[in-house]
Amino acid sequence: MTREIAVVAFAQTDHRRTSEELSEVEMLMPVLHEVLDRTGLKTSDIGFTCSGSSDYLAGRAFSFTLALDGVGAWPPISESHVEMDGAWALYEAWTKLLTGDADTALVYSYGKSSPGSVRDVLTRQLDPYYLAPLWPDSVALAALQAQALIDEGYTDEPALAAVAARSRADAQTNSHAQLRGSVPHGDYVVRPLRTGDCPPIGDGAAAVILAAGERARELCERPAWIRGIDHRIEAHSLGVRELTDSPSTRLAAEKAGAFERPVDTAELHAPFTSQEVVLRKALRLDDGVRVNPSGGALAANPIMAAGLIRIGEAAARIHRGESDRALAHATSGPCLQQNLVAVLEGEPRHDQ
């Protein structure tokens, strides 16, 4: 039989526009301490550690090696790293726990966008022969997608503005968020996207602890059980994709069992307002589902961590008893090229 695995703890930084006074290790370390403190575990108690980060944000090769200083990897630890958002590090850790090799896993990710121009940096992600030489930036590509949605009647600019307003209003109760409350929708950055349709640029880190079976129950009063998790990638070239849909999200959700029963909450990694429209459609979320109560990526979008934060936020709501079945989503690549969906559940509460 399959092992049951749960998110038992989550911690994140206060995400900020810049953290130039901190190294990545200094930014990460308090989060690692906090997530361990929540469970009472020490580094040496953890069976497997897995992280996600990007050398291109750090501006140097092998940048993740120094993060190990923050973990305190001595005596040596069983450890791995993906050059992906931390949500995929969590996926790797989930498979590791499924094998039975380990009962607990520490997953973390971090990114500092402040040292460079992240719009330009992300162009280095594109096809190096045909696309990257043109430097189409991340906002421009998202704007193409947004315009396609408007052209096909899936949304309009006022509806996008409403997504932005709802996200930042919800973020008012999220002390970690970077953009909170009433934020002006602003001028066009790239038509039809205005400042308010775009995520804030910032630095941040997040960490999660996973545990299997009884160990999860020992470490957390109400574990957020991972009922399913799956991820899928689409073609890279925007020219061969249907940008108003996200078949990879839908397929991942199917494989994760998201459509078996309705969820009450969804934390979607939609850095642009228009991408929430695409994801809602792909995931068949109706108005009864609470979408991004944390404020989502429109309130804080530390690249490489923002996807893991969605899983952490969804799990934390289950921990607090505010959700019974939540969907968490993470994305990577231009215009939602790669997507991960996790379905988390809490056990029935005694007061019900």
Partner 1 sequence: MTSEPVAVVGIGQTRHVAARRDVSMAGMVREAAQRALVDAELTWADIDAVVIGKAPDFFEGVMMPELYLADALGAVGKPMLRVHTAGSVGGSTALVATNLVRSRVHVTVLTLAYEKQSESNAMWGLSLPIPFQQPLLAGAGGFFAPHVRAYMRRSGAPDTVGSLVAYKDRRNALLNPYAHLHEHDITLEKVQASPMLWDPIRYSETCPSSDGAVAMILTDRAGAARSPRRPAWLHGGAMRSEPTLFAGKDAVSPQAGRDCAADVYRQAGIADPRRDIDAVEMYVPFSWYEPMWLENLGFAAEGEGWKLTEAGVTELDGDLPVNMSGGVLSTNPIGASGMIRFAEAALQVRGLAGEHQVDGARRVLGHAYGGGSQFFSMWLVGSEPPTS
Q: Which residues bind partner 1 (CB under 8 A)?
A: 1-3, 23, 49, 54-56, 59-62, 64-66, 68-69, 73-84, 88, 91-92, 95-96, 98-101, 121-122, 124-129, 132, 230-237, 247-248, 251, 332-334, 337-338
For residues 227 and 102, give the distance between their C-alpha atoms in angstroms, rounded to a whole number.
Answer: 19
For residues 109 and 93, give the distance between their C-alpha atoms in angstroms, rounded to a whole number.
Answer: 13
Closer to partner 1 by Cβ: residue 64 or 108: 64
Closer to partner 1 by Cβ: residue 2 or 352: 2
CB of 333 to partner 1, least distance (A): 4
Closer to partner 1 by Cβ: residue 134 or 233: 233
CB of 251 to partner 1, least distance (A): 7
Closer to partner 1 by Cβ: residue 77 or 169: 77
CB of 99 to partner 1, least distance (A): 4
Closer to partner 1 by Cβ: residue 129 or 286: 129
For residues 74 and 341, give the distance between their C-alpha atoms in angstroms, rounded to a whole number.
Answer: 33
CB of 313 to partner 1, least distance (A): 23
| Tokens 């249907």 -> residue | 242
Closer to partner 1 by Cβ: residue 124 or 284: 124
HSE-CB for 263 with a 13 A CA cutoff:
33
Answer whether 34's CB lies under 8 Å from 246's CB. Answer: no
CB of 26 to partner 1, least distance (A): 11
For residues 299 and 131, give the distance between their C-alpha atoms in angstroms, rounded to a whole number.
Answer: 29
Q: How many CB atoms lie under 10 A from the CB of residue 172?
A: 13
CB of 171 to partner 1, least distance (A): 27
> CB-based contacts of 306: which residues, under 8 Å, 6+ apart?
85, 199, 204, 269, 271, 297, 300, 330
- In angstroms, the first-to-last Cα distance of the chain is 29
Ramachandran angles phi, psi of 218, nearest 5°: -70, -35
